[in-house]
Amino acid sequence: MNKSSLVALIVVLGFLACSSDDDNNNPSSCDQLTVISSKQYIDEPNHDLTINSMKINENCLKINFGSSGCSGDSWELKLIDSEEILETNPPQRNLRLSLKNEELCNAFITKEISFNILGLKVNGNKVLLNIKNSDDQILYEY
């Protein structure tokens, strides 16, 4: 199985895992799926943004961030995992919030978005998420 087929399988399995009707543990309540791709981790847009806070609620990572712009309505966001698992205790994964921002206004817009992080689980019951655009790490326990 090639790498792109494996990534597609992971995305499909993550989507299928979101089909629960239990609102308290329903990751489909997240805004987007996390992308797991070393290529996209490197290649996707990296426009300036500031991460204000991060919080995990069930299997959703909620990120509050801001960037310059007009309204933020045209922004394209992705949370991208590098596909690397660092063998530490607890294990770690490297991610970055990709922002494509072509708005040419000087206002500073703050938004909040959540990402389904079910696909980031590793063996054990926790993984430390290193977010490249932030100086913070966040522990995902499951």
Q: What domains sit in the chain, N to C, each tagged with a CATH number?
A: 3-141 (2.60.40.2370)
User: Do 29 and 60 meet the contact criterion of CB atoms below 8 Å apart?
Assistant: yes
pLDDT tens-place values along the chain, 142 residues long: 554 444 344 444 444 444 433 334 454 699 999 999 999 999 999 999 999 999 999 999 999 999 999 999 999 999 999 999 999 999 999 999 999 999 999 999 999 999 999 999 999 999 999 999 898 899 999 9
Dump strand ranges (E) for 6-136. Answer: 32-33, 35-36, 50-57, 60-69, 76-86, 92-100, 107-116, 126-131
Rounded distance, CA 132 to CA 125, Å? 23
Radius of gyration of the chain (CA): 15
The pTM of the full predicted model, rounded to 2 decimals, is 0.79
Structural tokens at position 106 = 């000087």
